[in-house]
Structure 1
Amino acid sequence: MKRAQKILLVGGVALIVAVNAFVLAGVAWNRSGEPGSALTLTQRELSLPYAFGLDGERGGIDVALLWRAPMRDDNADAAYDMHYGRGPDWLDADKLRELGFDLKEERDAYRQKREVFVVLELAGADWQAALAQAQRRLDRALARGDAEKQDVDAQKSAQEALKYEQQKASRLFAVDAGLDAAALRQRYPDTHRHLIVVATVTPSVMVIDKKTTFSGHIGELAVARISVPHTLRGAMDGIDRSALDSGRATFEMDVAWGRRFEPWVTAVRPQRAARVE
C-alpha cells in the first residue's frame, strides 16, 4: 500500500473514531443528572412502525411521538385534531411577537420559521376539553334524531369519534411555547406531566374584510422519533400491529428527556389482554 493511501486510511479511521466519541459524549452529557422530563406514555402517544411485529424484525425500533394542538370551537365537528391543522388559540400575534417574530411585513410573515421551546402536557385540561367536545358532538347528533340517513351517519361518526378520543387518541397537547426553557419549567414544574421539547413555529396570515389576523403553526419536533434499544426490544415480543389496533395488547414506555432535550426509553411494559376461552 502506498504511503499516501496509508495516510488516508489512518486519517479516515481516526475521523470515524473522533465522530463516534463526540456523539457518545453528547449522549452521555444529555443523560447526565436528573432528567428534565420523565413521562410514562402509551401506544396513544407513541406510534410503532406500521409493520411492527409482522416483518420478523427483532432489532431496535423507533417510535414516533404523537401530540396534538387544542381544537378550536369552529372545529367542533371534527373527529380529532392532530398537530397538522391550524395552530392553537394561544399561539396568536402577541405570542408570536414574544417568540421573536417580526409581523410588520404582513405578507412575508409566513416565510419566517424559528425553533422554540414548546410545552406538551399529558392528560391535562386540554385533553379533558377534547373528551367533552367529542361528547357534545354526539349529544348534538342524537338530539337531531335519525329521520334521515345523514342523521344516522352523523350519529355513527360521532360515536366512533368519542370512542376514539376515549381509547386511542393522544393525550399529549401543546399548551405553551417560549424562548427560555428554564422560565417555562418554572411555569410548568411537573416533570412527569409537562414535557419541554424543541419544535419549529411558523406564522400564518389571514386577511378577511381587510382585517389581518396572525396565528402560529407548530411544526415537527427537533427529535420526533425515539429509539427503543435492543435490550428493551425483547419486552415487545409477541405483540404486533394487529393486536395493538384491536386493543388485544397495549404498552407503556417510560421516556426521559435530558439536558439537550433529547429523549431515551428507560423501561417498556407491554400488556396483553387475557384470552377468553
Structure 2
Amino acid sequence: MTWKNPHTWIAGLGIILLTNALALACVAYNRSGEPDARVTLSERELNLPYNWGGERENSGLALRLDWRDNPSRYLPAPWLDQAKLAALGFPVEDATSRADNRRRLNHSLPQEVFLVLEYNGPAYQAALARQQAVTEQRQALADRNPDDEALEKAARDSQKRLQREQHKASRLFVIDAGLDAQTLRQRYPDTARNIVLRGTVRARVNQQDDDQWVVQGLVNEVAVSRVNIPLEYRSVFERDRDPDYEVTLAVGRWLEPWAVGVK
C-alpha cells in the first residue's frame, strides 16, 4: 500500500477527519450540561511549564496540575489503609501474614479509581500546622543551643519550608478514592472545593521499624495532568516572567476539567 494510490490517500484523510470529529464530539459531550464542579485554583496549583520563557512564540499553553497527598505525593497516604484498599479491589487478605500474598500485592497493577481532590481545605491546613509545629520545635532547640551551627541551620531551613508552605506550595490534596463517582460526590458535596477526577492508586506491603508488616497505598497518578489554556486568556501569563494568576476550572460529564476563566 502506498500514499501514491488516490484511494489510499482518501481513506487516510477520512480516518483523520473521523478522528477529529470524534474528539470534538467527546469534548462537546464533556462540556454539556451543568458542570460537576467549578473551582478556582492559583499558580500554586496550576504551574506554568518549566520552559515557559523559551516557548512564548508557541500559541499553545498547558498548565501542570500540581496535586499533593498527605503528607507527600511520594509517601503512602494515611487514608489509603488496608480497609480502603480492600474496598478498591486490591487482594489485601492475609497480605501481612503470608509471604506469597505480600509478593502478590506488591506486584499488583495500579487500580483505576475516582479520586477526590480538595482545594485549600482541612488537608492543607493540617500540612501547614505540621510544618508550623516542626519549625517552632527546631527554632526552640536552636535558641537553647546558641553555639550549635547545625541546629541554627536546621531552624533556618525549616523556616524556609514554612514560608514555602504558606505562600508557594500547592493547596490541592487528594483526600479520598472510590469506585463510584456519584457516591464520592454525595460524600463531598462542596463543588467549589472538592473535585472528582479519574486516577489510579497502588498498594504495597512494607515492613516497619518494629518488624511488623503493614499494607499501605499510594496515589499513583491523576489522569488529568495538564489543563489547556485558551488563546483568549494567554495575555494574563505574558505580563511578567513569574505571574500570579487564578484559573477557574469546570469539570464535565466525563470528569475532565477545562478552563472557563483566567485572571
TM over 0.5: yes
- Equivalent residue for 1:132? 129
Matched, 1:255 2:249: yes
- Equivalent residue for 1:106? 102
Residues 208-217 or 152-161, more deviating: 208-217
- Equivalent residue for 2:86? 97
- Equivalent residue for 1:151? 151
SS of equivalent residue, structure 2 residue 5: helix
**How far off is 1:239 after superposition?**
2.3
- Equivalent residue for 1:232? 233
Map 1:28-47 to 2 at 5 A. Answer: 28-47=28-47
Q: Distance between the aligned counterparts of 1:165 and 1:28, measured in 2?
A: 38
Which amino acid in structure 2 is aligned with residue 62 of structure 1? Answer: A
SS of equivalent residue, structure 1 residue 134: helix
Gap change, CA 1:236 and 1:6, over 3 Å in 2? same
> What is the TM-score with the length of structure 1 in the denominator?
0.86
Gap change, CA 1:3 and 1:13, over 3 Å in 2? closer
Q: Distance between the aligned counterparts of 1:210 and 1:238, measured in 2?
A: 55
SS of equivalent residue, structure 1 residue 53: helix
Residue-by-residue CA offset, 1:5-54 (whole Å, 9 max, x unaligned): 11111111111111111100000000001111211000110111112234
SS of equivalent residue, structure 2 residue 53: coil
SS of equivalent residue, structure 1 residue 250: coil
Q: Which runs of 5+ in 2 are unaligned?
A: 94-100
- Equivalent residue for 1:10? 10
Q: Distance between the aligned counterparts of 1:153 and 1:235, measured in 2?
A: 39
Residue-by-residue CA offset, 1:129-166 (whole Å, 9 max, x unaligned): 11111111111012112320111101101110110010
Contact 2:42/2:244 (CA < 8 Å) preserved in 1?
yes
Q: Distance between the aligned counterparts of 1:106 and 1:116, measured in 2?
A: 22
Residues 46-55 or 97-106, more deviating: 46-55
- Equivalent residue for 1:193? 193
**How far off is 1:192 after superposition?**
0.8
SS of equivalent residue, structure 1 residue 87: coil
Q: Distance between the aligned counterparts of 1:56 and 1:200, measured in 2?
A: 33
Q: Which runs of 5+ in 1 are unaligned?
A: 72-80, 270-277
Contact 1:46/1:65 (CA < 8 Å) preserved in 2?
yes
Map 1:77-96 to 2 at 5 A. Answer: 81=72, 83=73, 85-96=74-85
Contact 1:111/1:202 (CA < 8 Å) preserved in 2?
no
- Equivalent residue for 1:175? 175
Contact 2:3/2:9 (CA < 8 Å) preserved in 1?
no
> What is the TM-score with the length of structure 2 in the denominator?
0.90
Which amino acid in structure 1 is aligned with residue 104 of structure 2? Answer: D
- Equivalent residue for 1:75? none
Contact 1:257/1:264 (CA < 8 Å) preserved in 2?
yes
Indicate the percent of aligned positions where both proteins have the same amino acid.
38
Which amino acid in structure 2 is aligned with residue 236 of structure 1? Answer: F
Aligned alpha-carbon RMSD (Å): 1.7
